[in-house]
Structure 1
Amino acid sequence: MKNRPIAQLAVPVGVVGIVLLLVVPLPAGLLDVLLAVNITASLVILLTSMYVQRPLDFSIFPSLILVFTLFRLGLNVASTRLVLRDGYAGQVIDAFGHFVVGGSLVIGLVIFLILVVIQFVVITNGAGRVAEVGARFTLDAMPGKQMAIDADLNSGLITEDEARKRRADVAAEADFYGAMDGGSKFVKGDAIAGIIITVINLVGGFAIGMMQMGMTAGESLERFSLLTIGDGLVTQIPALLLSVSTGIVVTRATAEGDMGTVAAKQLMQSRSALAIAGCGAIALALLPGMPKPPFLIVGAALLIAAQRIKATEARDAQAAQDSAQASAAPAAGDTPEQLIEQMRVHTLEILLAPDLVDLVGAGPDRDLLTRVRGLRRKIAMDLGIVVPPVRTRDSVDLPRSTYVVRISGVEVGRGEAPAGRLLALGDDLAALPGQPVVEPVFGLPGKWVPTELRHAAELAGATVVDRVSVLITHLGSIITQNAPRLLGREDVRVLTEGVKQVNPSVVDELVPGLLTLGEVQRVLQGLLSEEVAIRDLSRIYEALTLRAKTSTELEGLVEAARAALGPALTAQHTQEGVLRVVTLDPALEQGLVEQLRPSESGSQLLVEPDRLESILSQLRTAVGAAEAAGHPVVLVCAPALRPALRRLVMLGQTRTAVLSYSEVTGAGVQIETVGVVSGVHTIAA
Structure 2
Amino acid sequence: MSTMVKRRLLNHSDIIAALGLVSIVVMMVVPLPAGILDILITLNITASVLTLMLAIFAQDPLEFSALPSLLLTLTLFRLSLNISATRLILLDGHAGQIIQQFGEFVIRGNTVVGFIIFLILVLIQFIVITKGAERVSEVAARFTLDAMPGKQMSIDADLNAGMINEQQARDRRKAIQQEADFYGAMDGSTKFVKGDAIAAIIILFINIIGGFITGVLMQGLPLLDALHKYTLLTIGEGLVSQIPALLISTSTGLVVTRADSETNLGENLVKQLFRKPKALFITAGVLILLALLGLPILPLFMVAAALIVLGVTLQRKTKKSVVVESAAARETEIEESKKPENVLNLLNVDHMELELGYALIALVDVQQGGDLLDRIVLIRRQIASELGFIVPVIRVRDNMNLQPNQYVIKIRGAEIASSEILADHYMAMSGGMDDDEIPGTPTKEPSFGLDAKWINAMYREQAELNGWMVVDAPTVLATHITEVIKTQAWEILSRQDVKTLVDHAKSQAPAVVDELIPEMLSLGQIQKVLANLLRERVSIKDMVLILETLADFANSTKDLDRLTEHVRQALARQILQPLLGKDKSLPVITLDPQIEQQILDSIQPSEYGTYLALDPKVLHVLMQNLTAEVEKVVLKGYTPVIVCAPVVRINLKRVTERQLPQLMVLSYNELVQGVQVQAVGMVGMNRAS
Q: TM-score range by the shorter chain?
A: 0.7 to 0.9
Tell me by how many angstroms 1:372 deviates: 4.2
* Structure 1 segment 665-680 matched on structure 2, within 5 A: 667-677=672-682, 679=684
* Structure 1 segment 125-164 matched on structure 2, within 5 A: 125-164=131-170
> TM-score by structure 2 length?
0.84
Tell me by how many angstroms 1:106 deviates: 2.5
1:106 maps to amino acid: V
- Given the superposition, is the C-alpha separation of residues 231 and 213 from structure 1 closer, same or farther in structure 2, using an over 3 Å criterion? same
Q: Tell me if the contact between 2:502 and 2:513 (Cα under 8 Å) persists in the aligned partners.
A: no
Tell me by how many angstroms 1:107 deviates: 2.1
Give the Cα–Cα distance (whole angstroms) in 2 for the partners of residues 425 and 434 of structure 1: 11
Does 1:539 find its partner at 2:540?
Answer: no
The aligned residue for residue 214 of structure 1 is: 220
Q: Tell me if the contact between 2:513 and 2:547 (Cα under 8 Å) persists in the aligned partners.
A: no
The aligned residue for residue 412 of structure 1 is: 416
Give the Cα–Cα distance (whole angstroms) in 2 for the partners of residues 497 and 218 of structure 1: 88
Residue deviations 1:54-97, cap 9 Å, x none?
22222221222222222222222222222222222211111122
The aligned residue for residue 3 of structure 2 is: none
Q: Tell me if the contact between 1:622 and 1:674 (Cα under 8 Å) persists in the aligned partners.
A: no
The aligned residue for residue 65 of structure 1 is: 71
Does 1:568 find its partner at 2:575?
Answer: no
Give the Cα–Cα distance (whole angstroms) in 2 for the partners of residues 66 and 499 of structure 1: 51
Does 1:113 find its partner at 2:119?
Answer: yes
Give the Cα–Cα distance (whole angstroms) in 1 for the partners of residues 182 and 292 of structure 2: 51
Corresponding residue SS for 2:571: helix
Which residue among 591, 613, 617 is the counterpart of 2:624? 613
- Given the superposition, is the C-alpha separation of residues 618 and 453 from structure 1 closer, same or farther in structure 2, using an over 3 Å criterion? closer
Q: Tell me if the contact between 2:27 and 2:84 (Cα under 8 Å) persists in the aligned partners.
A: yes
Which residue among 657, 660, 665 is the counterpart of 2:664? 657
Does 1:357 find its partner at 2:357?
Answer: no
Tell me by how many angstroms 1:336 deviates: 7.8
- Given the superposition, is the C-alpha separation of residues 650 and 45 from structure 1 closer, same or farther in structure 2, using an over 3 Å criterion? closer
Corresponding residue SS for 1:546: coil
The range that moved more, 608-617 or 89-98, is: 608-617
* Structure 1 segment 427-442 matched on structure 2, within 5 A: 427=431, 434-442=440-448
The range that moved more, 566-575 or 105-114, is: 566-575
Does 1:9 find its partner at 2:15?
Answer: yes
The range that moved more, 87-96 or 603-612, is: 603-612
Give the Cα–Cα distance (whole angstroms) in 2 for the partners of residues 472 and 341 of structure 1: 29
Does 1:622 find its partner at 2:633?
Answer: yes
Residue deviations 1:377-435, cap 9 Å, x none?
65566556665554432111212222111234442211234334555556589687743
Q: Tell me if the contact between 2:363 and 2:371 (Cα under 8 Å) persists in the aligned partners.
A: yes
Q: Tell me if the contact between 1:155 and 1:373 (Cα under 8 Å) persists in the aligned partners.
A: no
Residue deviations 1:268-318, cap 9 Å, x none?
1111111222333344444546141x3333222222221221122112211
The range that moved more, 427-436 or 109-118, is: 427-436
1:621 maps to amino acid: K
- Given the superposition, is the C-alpha separation of residues 662 and 454 from structure 1 closer, same or farther in structure 2, using an over 3 Å criterion? same
Corresponding residue SS for 2:633: helix
Give the Cα–Cα distance (whole angstroms) in 1 for the partners of residues 48 and 429 of structure 2: 61
Does 1:40 find its partner at 2:46?
Answer: yes
Q: Tell me if the contact between 1:349 and 1:390 (Cα under 8 Å) persists in the aligned partners.
A: yes
2:562 maps to amino acid: E
Q: Tell me if the contact between 2:362 and 2:369 (Cα under 8 Å) persists in the aligned partners.
A: no
Tell me by how many angstroms 1:21 deviates: 2.5
Give the Cα–Cα distance (whole angstroms) in 1 for the partners of residues 502 and 73 of structure 2: 63
2:237 maps to amino acid: D
Give the Cα–Cα distance (whole angstroms) in 2 for the partners of residues 177 and 24 of structure 1: 36
Give the Cα–Cα distance (whole angstroms) in 1 for the partners of residues 369 and 468 of structure 2: 19
Corresponding residue SS for 2:646: coil
Structure 2 unaligned runs (5+)?
1-6
Which residue among 378, 399, 404 is the counterpart of 2:403? 399
Residue deviations 1:92-112, cap 9 Å, x none?
111122122111223212222
Tell me by how many angstroms 1:237 deviates: 1.2
Give the Cα–Cα distance (whole angstroms) in 1 for the partners of residues 68 and 302 of structure 2: 42
Which residue among 297, 301, 307 is the counterpart of 1:302? 307
* Structure 1 segment 85-124 matched on structure 2, within 5 A: 85-124=91-130
RMSD: 3.8
The aligned residue for residue 4 of structure 2 is: none
- Given the superposition, is the C-alpha separation of residues 460 and 205 from structure 1 closer, same or farther in structure 2, using an over 3 Å criterion? farther
The aligned residue for residue 266 of structure 1 is: 272
Give the Cα–Cα distance (whole angstroms) in 2 for the partners of residues 129 and 498 of structure 1: 47
Give the Cα–Cα distance (whole angstroms) in 2 for the partners of residues 228 and 141 of structure 1: 48
The aligned residue for residue 205 of structure 1 is: 211
Count of residues paired in the alignment: 663
Q: Tell me if the contact between 1:53 and 1:255 (Cα under 8 Å) persists in the aligned partners.
A: yes
Q: Tell me if the contact between 1:563 and 1:663 (Cα under 8 Å) persists in the aligned partners.
A: no
The range that moved more, 148-157 or 315-324, is: 148-157
Corresponding residue SS for 2:657: helix
Corresponding residue SS for 2:636: helix
Residue deviations 1:482-504, cap 9 Å, x none?
34544567877988999998635
Give the Cα–Cα distance (whole angstroms) in 2 for the partners of residues 456 and 213 of structure 1: 86
Structure 1 unaligned runs (5+)?
none
The range that moved more, 216-225 or 258-267, is: 216-225
1:616 maps to amino acid: T
The aligned residue for residue 603 of structure 1 is: 612
The aligned residue for residue 198 of structure 2 is: 192
- Given the superposition, is the C-alpha separation of residues 72 and 441 from structure 1 closer, same or farther in structure 2, using an over 3 Å criterion? same
Which residue among 323, 327, 334 is the counterpart of 1:322? 327
Tell me by how many angstroms 1:469 deviates: 4.1
Give the Cα–Cα distance (whole angstroms) in 2 for the partners of residues 52 and 199 of structure 1: 38
- Given the superposition, is the C-alpha separation of residues 298 and 457 from structure 1 closer, same or farther in structure 2, using an over 3 Å criterion? farther
Q: Tell me if the contact between 1:605 and 1:644 (Cα under 8 Å) persists in the aligned partners.
A: no
Give the Cα–Cα distance (whole angstroms) in 2 for the partners of residues 110 and 520 of structure 1: 84
Give the Cα–Cα distance (whole angstroms) in 2 for the partners of residues 421 and 387 of structure 1: 29
